Structure 1
Amino acid sequence: MDPAFHDARERFTKPKGPEPPVYQKTKFQRLLARNPYAQALATPIRRCPATGVHLPKHFLQGFRFMSHPETGRPYWVPQGLEKKQSQTTAMEGTTDNGERDTAPATAEGELAANARTPLGPTGYFLSSQKLLKGFLTPGSPYFGREKSLLQMNRSSAERLRSVLRKVVWRDGMDAFILDLTRRRIVEGLVEFSELVEKAGRKYLIKCESWDDAKQYKHRGCLLYLGSSDSAQDAVGAPPAQLSTMTIPDVRFGGKLAVHDLAVLLGDEHLNRLRQESPLLRDGSLFLLGRQRTLDLQLLLWKLQGYIALR
């Protein structure tokens, strides 16, 4: 009956209150909120059953099973790659037939039913193309390990046993996730470039040289697109994989990630990006920044890790 007892007992089980407005946050809190690396590391820890590693959820790829809208058979779909409502670029696609197939993994419609179809619980694998490809590669140490998804303990396996025996893991899942991630990045960059051109926002800033990025306050990451057809830029050779740029004499944000979009997106998606964005068509180096681009920066970083060991 003691209110103090119940207050102490429920202190850490109550829902979090609303986030304070920006003007009530300290400078460090504001910097932390727009730091993509801090936000990624702060995500909950999850375990990959195929490798046994424990990592923040950002570095894992989530999967949930849903019923195929035509056959009713359960199959795995990747999470976190659905098309955002705010983005207007339309993508063509076809739905998957629910079986292991060898068709090109460019379908957009496979995730479109997620909002309409009840989904099962979420399981996680390490976000690595090499790992996911190994599930279907005979001789790989991870061959067939997709069956370990959601079988973390005996009780969960018992509850889901009947479904897990029938759930389908599609052929080419690794390429399907790669294509979807690239599509989301292209859509995000096109959307921000339109805001720059139509509303005068500063989400994307063209840099004539690497040193140009040092003069701007809101720095997120650098995007290297390679030489454009309309101009000869003096940026130099492409950056190495997993490159960073050091900004001297600054207390916060002294390291900038450098993303080579020719490597991350591939020729097809990079060409489509240049076609759909006049801003990105003319130039080879751009600075992506401000808090609204945080999710896009996180996705770029995640894609770096996804293809790192392929």
Structure 2
Amino acid sequence: MLSRRAHHLASHSIPTSCGWQLQWRSKSSHARIAKGDDLGPTRSGDYQTFRARRDGGGKELPLPPLLDPLVIERRALWEAPKAQPKAADFTPFQKKIQANPYAHALSSPVRQCRANIILLPVALLTSLHVRPHPTTGDPWLLPVSLTTVQKYLGPPYHFVESQFLAKQLGKKKQWLRGVYARFEEKFGGNVLKKLVWREDLAQVILDLKQKQLVKKLSWSTGIKGRLTPVASPRPEDIHQVDDVSCILIFRSLRTQANECNDRAKDLAAQMDKWASYVAKNYMDKLDPHAAPHVTHKSPSWYSEPVVPRLQPRAQFPELDFNTTIWRGRKVAVYSLTDLLGEDKARGLIQGSVYAEENCVAVKCARHNVPMEVLLMRLQAYLARPGP
């Protein structure tokens, strides 16, 4: 017995400071795990493999799933990575989906908005990530996903693609309500206490989105033929153009109704300012919980007395676009002046082959999808709620 055991053990010597040598034995690592037929005679059933008994009687024993070749083979079919589709084998419908910017946006992963707790595709959300300040080292929430192609940037802070909402979250640190447990697990409570939301974050996001769009549009306006000039976005002027996906117009689409809406927004903002002033300075007289006969304390959601306001709740604008009709279906119309500003829009087409054109048509093609997604996201970010 000792000779057989010694065959599987090996001696090792370790020198010590006293000159003595300690000897220990370890098992040999050349053993091979038996699988399938190596375990003996087997019989394959419909769903599993059985091992025959040596005595010829009794019930057959099934092989463990980790050793059963039938189970391993079927599991491999499910665990094998799916082959990448080949563009040359696409059907006409698949080619349409591949060149559709709305399909790409809606097929992006679904994430939760931290402001209103709704689920939306991530292409319709603004993403912020924690990054240290280069000077102080304090953690800041920044839109680094707009400046890098790195896949994983840490736990994200998502909210609806809206400049109006970005400004609202910055007021009275409302964004703190959207910080969730994953942030604390990743960075710890001490880091969250130092987390900074920039006062001009809404404008920073807008500038980065405009910079992204200008970069994409510069590629399209740099060479003649990538965009198709048209007289106007009216149906009769674009009917003869094939495969129209959207229209880019170089002038503004704002009307007198938009100016009236802006004036109404300014009046509502002024009234909201004075309402907040009254609620803050006359809190002892307006607070119902401060009356002498009231014994209970104010609830946790109560922050200030309720006073009349023209806009009592934050409204989320719908994802609405200016459209025109091309061969019986709607296509989006984007104003580069409204999206980029007059100076950036003029600088984009100045000196290009489209400098003398009023508007151009963008063809439905896979290489135009990133640009159209950026147009859609910037249009959604600049949308404002109605009166």
Question: TM-score, normalization: structure 2?
Answer: 0.58
Does the 8 Å contact 2:108/2:123 carry over to 1?
A: yes
Cα distance per residue 1:4-61 (max 9 Å; x no partner): 54566676665443232x2201110110011001111111111011111111111101
Give 2:353's aligned residue.
279
Give 1:214's aligned residue.
239
Give 2:326's aligned residue.
247
Query: Cα distance 1:134–1:12, how it changes in 2: closer, same or farther (>3 A)?
Result: farther
Cα shift at 1:174: 0.7
Does the 8 Å contact 1:207/1:287 carry over to 2?
A: yes
Helix, strand or coil at the partner of 1:50: coil
What are the within-5 Å matches in structure 2 for residues 47-58 of structure 1?
A: 47-58=112-123
Helix, strand or coil at the partner of 2:157: strand
Percent identical among aligned pairs is 29
Match of 1:306 among 381, 384, 387: 381
AA aligned opposite 1:247: W
Structure 2 CA distance, aligned partners of 1:270 and 1:188? 13
Aligned residues: 252
Structure 2 CA distance, aligned partners of 1:3 and 1:150? 49
Helix, strand or coil at the partner of 2:155: strand
Give 1:124's aligned residue.
158
Q: List gaps (5 residues or longer) in structure 1.
A: 85-113, 138-142, 228-234
Structure 2 CA distance, aligned partners of 1:180 and 1:8? 49
AA aligned opposite 1:272: G
Cα shift at 1:70: 3.4
Given the alignment of the two structures, is residue 180 of structure 1 paired with residue 208 of structure 2, yes or no?
Answer: yes
Structure 2 CA distance, aligned partners of 1:296 and 1:248? 23
Query: Cα distance 1:263–1:4, how it changes in 2: closer, same or farther (>3 A)?
Result: farther
Does the 8 Å contact 1:83/1:184 carry over to 2?
A: no
Cα shift at 1:178: 0.9
Does the 8 Å contact 1:273/1:280 carry over to 2?
A: no
| RMSD between superposed Cα atoms in Å | 3.0
Query: Cα distance 1:80–1:213, how it changes in 2: closer, same or farther (>3 A)?
Result: farther
Give 2:131's aligned residue.
66
AA aligned opposite 2:175: E
Does the 8 Å contact 1:244/1:255 carry over to 2?
A: yes
Structure 2 CA distance, aligned partners of 1:165 and 1:130? 25
Structure 2 CA distance, aligned partners of 1:43 and 1:11? 26
Query: Cα distance 1:123–1:220, how it changes in 2: closer, same or farther (>3 A)?
Result: same
Query: Cα distance 1:29–1:58, how it changes in 2: closer, same or farther (>3 A)?
Result: same
Structure 2 CA distance, aligned partners of 1:172 and 1:128? 14
Structure label with greater radius of gyration: 2
Cα shift at 1:166: 1.9
Structure 1 CA distance, aligned partners of 2:232 and 2:185? 59
Given the alignment of the two structures, is residue 162 of structure 1 paired with residue 190 of structure 2, yes or no?
Answer: yes
Cα shift at 1:281: 1.9
Cα distance per residue 1:251-296 (max 9 Å; x no partner): xxx3211112221112232122133x52232111111222211111
Query: Cα distance 1:26–1:279, how it changes in 2: closer, same or farther (>3 A)?
Result: same
Structure 2 CA distance, aligned partners of 1:13 and 1:62? 32
Structure 2 CA distance, aligned partners of 1:308 and 1:48? 17
Question: TM-score, normalization: structure 1?
Answer: 0.71
Match of 1:190 among 213, 218, 225: 218
Query: Cα distance 1:10–1:53, how it changes in 2: closer, same or farther (>3 A)?
Result: farther
Q: List gaps (5 residues or longer) in structure 2.
A: 1-65, 259-319
Query: Cα distance 1:190–1:167, how it changes in 2: closer, same or farther (>3 A)?
Result: same
